[in-house]
Chains A and B, each alone.
Chain A
Amino acid sequence: MDLATFRKALDDWLDHNERELAPAHSGRGTLADNMAQLAKVKRLGFEAGWMRWGWPQRAGGLGGSPILRAYLGEALMAREIVGPDVYSMTEVLAPTMINFAPAELAAEMVPRLLRGDEMWCQGFSEPGTGSNLASLSCRATRSDDGWRVTGQKVWTSYAQFAARCVLLTRTGSQESAHRGITALFVDMDTPGITIRPIRTMHGTDEFCEVFYDDVAVPFERTLGEVDHGWAVAMDLLPYERSTSLWHRGAYLQRRLERLLATVPAGTLSATEIGEVTQLLLAFRARSRATQYRMADGEPLGPETSVDKVLIATAEQALMDVAARGLAHEILLGDDGIAEYWRAAFLYSRAATIYGGTGEIQRNIIARRLLDLGDDR
């Protein structure tokens, strides 16, 4: 399946099924509405084959280039069928699952994620472990019949909707830092897991505190080697900055189109609208090259931090412009469209915080790309 054929056939399918694919809710919808919409779109997309292209056959896919996945998400964002936040978890978690899970586990589980049967979450950050990921302390100890996990995670997106979690645990001594971490694939309905959603400033229970109290996890649920979970994390982080960022870029372009179409004449200067569009295009060109490198099988690494800084900068710049151009909606509006814009604006404040802060990305760029040596 080449991209041109895929694009044409997918566009036709999206046109043809426009009504069935449209969200049942109007306006912004609740998080549960958005989850239901995501599950519906993935199921329809899986049944028609679209959600399977670009994924390997051993994980329930139909094979083909990851470029197909990049286009699928872009088309869904451009048509406002699903949002980039809920859609991103698939692109972030499935590639690493396929790379590190035992083959049978990946074959069993990944199709459930692609088909929308399940939502998954990512248990990395902890109260004491934000930017310094290698200092995590949620502990997994061996028992006769498997791991027992005790500790706390935080900022776990969509944990309250998730059936599984890719969880980083401490298996070495606390001083072992990145050398004593093990990644596990945990069923979220296991006894001992308590989930407390956190309300964000954009009014969504987007992420959660997750408490693990002596939670049993079978040894077969180990991802990669014991004490080598850092390799799993390092494999996953570039996926946070590749296909899912391409999709986010498509969503931002759609916001820009909406802004251009609706902004009252005379509220925005040509310079500010020109500059923000150029920032988005620079990200698009950069991320487009990343998609093709990934499709060619090149390993992704620290250079994806450049993509992340570009899109975070562009997103905040765009929403700053939107907040000036659509001040009435964003500040005073109470209808569905106003709520959508206000949430998008407020959410953009987190663009330089989540997925590695702007400072962490620049640290990576300085050390790994500019070779400036250690900073400590």
Chain B
Amino acid sequence: MDASEIELFERSVRQATERHSGDALDGALAELGWPDALADDPPTAVSVLFPLQGAANVTSSALDEVVATALGVPPTSREAVVLPALGTRTAPGDARGHRLSVRGLGTARLQRGVRAVVVATRDSNGSFTIVTVSTTDLTLRPVEGIDPDLGLVEATADTVGFEPGPDGAGNAWSAAVVLAQLALSHEILGAARSMLALAREHALDRIQFGQPIARFQAVRHRLAETLVAIEGADALVLATNDSPSPELATVAKSLAGRAALTAARHCQQVLAGIGFTAEHPFHRYYRRILLLDQLFGSAHGLTRDFGEELLQSRQLPALLPL
């Protein structure tokens, strides 16, 4: 897609995310050709949809499709992918001999699907394999939790029999993690930008001491701080979009998660009482970013892992050349 095609595509995806959520959004995206765009140019498709999905606080099965596409498993309505367990970016399956155990999450698609695609590590040689099992072999628990709207499913299984496929899915899994982290970073920052927009609007509307609270430097600086955190993370996310790599995607996801937590802290304080109510939309964004931060590795965990690699290698990877 060239720049003008992307702009047109973005406009229609925006309309879809503003009108629909859940199954309806999946349907609208299919009609718009988003799955084709994903197959064609994954980073671009991801960078168009996910910021808007985050900004509108809507849900879809797009993350499932992103992972399936990177794994080379064309998504169908009958198949769904098992995502890593909360806070981790490790493969959700553990294959020992002919027995498979699973600890992971899924989107709403997993609840409906007939078969589940599980990436598993092999005990024998540490390599990765892609296993397809029946969803009836998994224990599926629809998650209410802190963000019931997200429609997550928790998937577990202890001893599922399976026919081992070929090894050597490590590269596919690594690519899936990169693309998922990129998608989630975009979605998190979309949500952070919406929190900032809500707080900004409130600061301009809310009159105290005879003037909008946006006049007060304490308020202005909180919002400025929020924008700096978002823009710094976004620059890294966009650079990852241009040349995706495991290292950059990890940094992008960390920065996005931390920026959103910073945004939430400042924006909630500016929104004050009204932002603490269930009537104001702020809490929906907050719930969402708390969860998205924990998918495919959290800001905290990824930062620690990144730092461990740095301390071990004692070298700075040469990232982002001019």
Chain A contact residues, CB within 8 Å of chain B = 3, 7, 67, 70-71, 74, 253, 256-257, 260-261, 265, 268-275, 277-279, 281-286, 288-289, 291, 306, 309-310, 313, 359, 361-363, 365-367, 369-370, 372-376
Contacts and interface: CB of A to CB of B under 8 A. Distances in A.
B267 to A, nearest CB: 12
Nearest to A68: B322
Given A278-B251, A284-B320, 7 more contacts: A270-B304, A273-B307, A284-B319, A286-B236, A289-B238, A309-B224, A375-B220
Taking chain A's interface residues, is the majority helix, strand, or loop, or is none over half, making it mixed?
helix
A127 B238 CA distance: 43
B204 A373 contact: yes
A309 B230 CA distance: 12
A194 to B, nearest CB: 37
Contacts of A257: 315-316
Interface string B280-316: 0000000000000000000010111111101100111
Contacts, number: 139
A274 B304 contact: yes
A274 B235 contact: no
Nearest to A267: B311
B315 A289 contact: no
A100 to B, nearest CB: 28
Nearest to B237: A285
B254 interface: yes
B232 A275 contact: no
Which secondary structure dominates where chain B touches chain A? Answer: helix
Interface of B: 200, 203-204, 212, 214-217, 220-221, 223-225, 227-228, 231-233, 235-236, 238-239, 251, 254-255, 300, 302-308, 310-311, 314-316, 319-320, 322
Nearest to B230: A306
A275 B251 CA distance: 9
A70 B251 CA distance: 24
A44 B135 CA distance: 70
Given A270-B304, A274-B310, A375-B215, A366 B319 contact: no
A238 to B, nearest CB: 16
A71 B235 CA distance: 19
A373 B215 contact: yes
Contacts of B306: 270, 274, 277-278
